[in-house]
Amino acid sequence: MNSTLLIIVVVVILVLAIGGVYNSLIRRRNEVDNAWSQIDVQLKRRLDLIPNLVETVKGYAAHEKTALEAVVAARNSAMAASSDPHAQAAADTAISGALRQLFALSEAYPDLKANQGFVSLQEELANTESRIAYARQFYGDAVATYNTAIQNFPAVFIARAFSFAEREFFEAEDAARVVPEVKF
């Protein structure tokens, strides 16, 4: 009877330990998903601001069609990109480059640079870029913590048994790491 009780206690402790590790991995995976959704929200916010910016610039720089088309094309690509970090990073690079080109136009058009709507949109985009940067950092931290957790002993065995896969970091290209310059 004592050996049966001992076996039951060991099995219960083992089940509780496995359950604790499993729950911890679930919590970390959910943190990664939440962090990614924060990036997604900010990227969508930026995409929503772009049409207003393009329309404002059109009135002042109608013959600068190439820059405007680049922004629209980059926005369309970003909207069509899959939601995985690699595809979003590539779309982010294209958007950032196109926005830099568009903001450079404001230097050539003093009336555009003085337009309150344009200035407000620039400020909103700059604020959004800051939010995206923060969300990226949060996501990177969550991914690092999660990936480390599924590689640690003994969690690695539980992670493999329940198909916990490593997550990909959101790594924008160097050109996308520069926040578009806002000048007044």
Mean pLDDT of the chain: 83
Check whether 63 has a pLDDT greater than 80: no
CATH 2.60.40.290, applies to 2-177: no
Check whether 154 has a pLDDT greater than 70: yes
Q: Which residue has the tokens 């568009």?
A: 102
Over residues 73-126, the pLDDT tens digits come to 888 888 888 777 878 888 888 888 888 877 777 777 777 777 777 788 888 888
For the chain, give every domain's residue range: 2-177
Over residues 21-44, the pLDDT tens digits come to 999 999 999 999 999 999 888 888
Q: Which of 78, 98, 99, 74 is nearest to 88 (CA)?
A: 78
- Give the predicted TM-score (pTM) of the model: 0.72
Number of Cβ atoms within 10 Å of the Cβ of 147 = 19
